[in-house]
Amino acid sequence: MLITSNEVNATPAAAATVTLNAVAGNNRVDLSWNAIANATAQRVYRRFGGNPYMLAGTVPVGTVTFADIKGSNGTINAVDPTNGTTYTYKVEVDVP
């Protein structure tokens, strides 16, 4: 006797992507991004002038904004955003 299972179709979903937006201001950059389902941690990184990315801050899960402001406690490393300098940002989100 031969027993055969039913057929099932499955289409793998692409990994979620973070769409990051930035608005520059006076010695500050305001970032926002889309929420990622099941996120467990979020980190914002910044670089400039060909330097490596450095952690700019951690963001509570569920929050989708970050203000990188010169002289604020939101900046972890010693380089604050300064007028006239171009910065590159990225957000990393941990998911299970």
Domain ranges of the chain: 20-94
pLDDT digits (tens, 9 = 90+) for 18-50: 999 999 999 889 999 999 988 999 999 998 888
Tokens of 57: 């801050």
Determine what percent of the chain is predicted with pLDDT higher than 90: 44
CATH of 20-94, one of 3.30.1370, 2.60.40, 1.10.287, 3.40.50: 2.60.40
The whole-angstrom separation of Cα 7 and Cα 49 is 55
Residue recorded with tokens 């793998």: 12
CB 81 within 8 A of CB 28: yes
The pTM assigned to this predicted structure is 0.77
